[in-house]
Amino acid sequence: MAQGTYVEKSFERDTNYITDRIAADGEWPVEAGRYRLIAARACPWANRTIIVRRLLGLEDAISLGLAGPTHDSDSWTFDLDPGEVDPVLQIPRLKDAYLERFPDYPRGITVPAIVDVPTGEVVTNDFAQITLDFETEWTEFFREGAPDLWPQDLREEMEPVMHRIYTEVNNGVYRCGFAGEQEAYDKAYDRLFTALDWLEERLAGQRYLMGDTITEADVRLFTTLARFDPVYHGHFKCNRSKLTEMPVLWAYARDLFQTPGFGDTTDFTQIKEHYYVVHTDVNPTQIVPKGPDLAGWATPHGREKLGGRPFGDGTPPGPPPEAERVPTKDNPLVGPDGMVQVEA
């Protein structure tokens, strides 16, 4: 998840991914039931794929395997499943799928990853491309009313917005948290909050990042915002402001959280357990904080006054499949049907 190196005591993410794509006319053809998405609810990069899969209604076409929130230096593991083995792939560690294809795989074992079920081989772990391919290559299997998250007429404008969100926010919190010296941390901190201030201004007059409807850009920002107060503010020293102290972003984040597909895929318990237990260099005691209070996520956000239609000409997804629902104990704002319970 946070695979990277330190250059002059600053964190540089390893972006050398397996770039194979599943495409209608590619080496790995689009085929319902053939592939398994391996994710972890704790990981923001993997959480994106879970959200997009749900928004588009691809649950029946692409199965979902969930690794537990903690892992060692070797691999993500399937410790949430009976016998600690993925029930479809029949492997205890995600690393096994990587080694099945690349016996000498030299890099970190990351989620999300897509595995070819018949061969047990990893196909790709290129998280940024995975969701774009869901949105463009899997259209045959979309649910009725699926939104257009990667609209053709907005892509030229979306790309620089998403790039800035990635470099300054998604990855920016990691540069703060894993800085190896004061100067590197100070620079990372300033870059992060400069970008968050830009987002406060951008979203003050429009409901979503690209205007009136939810797009891929909103998915990419949301997973960092959801982790900001529980993890990044304290654990990664991103402490100029809490999310709850940035009024526009806090209202925007609540708006998304209360939208089907976002809050109902967010597991706050696993998020905190992952960061505070796995990052022993940052948190050597592995103590997981009890807070923060999550009740605010269900409160009215007031963003409706900006207009817009979250799903454009589409419709929201229904309740998540029972087997994929976030346990209420992990997200107390989720009801027995797996949907977020919004405060009246």
> Could you tell me which residues are annotated as the binding site?
76
Pull the structure tokens for residue 47: 């959480």
Q: Which residue shows structure tokens 């984040």?
A: 253
**What is the C-alpha separation between 262 and 301, in angstroms, rounded?**
15
Go through 24-56 and write b for each residue having 16 or more CB atoms within 10 A of its CB, e for each that does not: eeeebebeeebbbbbbbbbbbbbbbbbbbbbbb
Is residue 221 a contact partner of residue 199, using CB atoms and an 8 Å limit? Answer: yes
Torsion of CA 41, 46, 47, 49, to 10 degrees: -130
* Residue 238: active-site member: no
CB of 274 closer than 8 Å to CB of 69: yes
**Residues placed in the known binding site for glutathione:** 76
Catalytic residue among 35, 98, 174, 275: 174
**List 43, 176, 208, 275, catalytic entry:** 43
Q: Does residue 105 carry a catalytic annotation?
A: no
- Pairing mode of beta strands 35-39, 4-7: unpaired
* Residue showing tokens 């806090």: 250
Residues annotated catalytic, as ranges: 43, 174
